[in-house]
Copies of this chain bind each other. A is one copy, B any other.
Amino acid sequence: MSATELQKQRMTSYFIEAAKEILRGEGLKVASARNIADKAGYSYATLYNYFEDLSTLIFECVRDFQTELEESIVPAIDSSNTAKDKIRGGITAWVNYFVQYPGIFELFFLERIGEVGNRSDIADLIYNSIVPACSDGLEQWVSEGRLSEEQAVGKLNTLRFQITGLMLYYSNRKNPADYSKLMQLLNRQIDQILDLK
């Protein structure tokens, strides 16, 4: 990497780190160009020298958050033995991450991805966000002969839609009303999905 490229990458990371901090804490509505640039120690116009527009910058954060999220999933899976516990642990970690950072859930699932530009990669990343939470357990089941490949794909989709749907209502419509009820419902749903062929 050339010297100018390195500096460019440093600058972008200043803005991205500032944006991430705001998204984690105050959420999307506070993540304005001016607030982000302020936190990064630059003028708001400088931001536009490094990012095409604000939403490009915001969506760049998704990659980092997904990495962080996956890092929080790994120990939950590793500490489980049975395939079912792996899936339950992974999903619970996934849910807990978004419970802890509601602003990041907003960013992943509520924010509209602009039409323009090449952001289908980000959309795919979000679509597959939950995969690391269940792939290990599902693969174990497949290797044990308890599920066919096809059935595993079906279960993955069921988990994907169902858990995201549950979180959507929880985060945005306050239903279920509190965390313990969310966990109760989550475990019941996971049992139902995993216990049945």
Give me the interface of A with B, judged by CB distance under 8 Å.
106, 109-110, 112-113, 120, 123-124, 126-127, 154, 157-158, 160-166, 168-169, 172-175, 185, 188-189, 192, 196-197
Contacts and interface: CB of A to CB of B under 8 A. Distances in A.
Max count, chain B CB within 10 A of own CB: residue among A113, A124, A168:
A168
Contacts of A154: 188, 192
A23 to B, nearest CB: 14
Contact of A161 (B110, B112, B166, B197): B166
A180 B76 CA distance: 37
A126 B173 contact: yes
B162 A161 contact: yes
Contact of A112 (B110, B158, B188, B197): B110
Contact of A110 (B110, B123, B157, B162): B110
Given A157-B189, A188-B154, A169 B164 contact: yes
Given A158-B192, A161-B161, A189-B157, A169 B127 contact: yes
B123 A173 contact: yes
A195 to B, nearest CB: 9
Contact of A113 (B157, B161, B172): B172
Given A110-B110, A158-B162, A196-B197, 7 more contacts: A109-B173, A110-B172, A113-B174, A120-B174, A123-B173, A127-B173, A158-B189
13 contacts: A109-B168, A123-B174, A123-B175, A127-B175, A154-B188, A154-B192, A160-B165, A161-B161, A161-B163, A161-B165, A161-B189, A164-B168, A164-B169
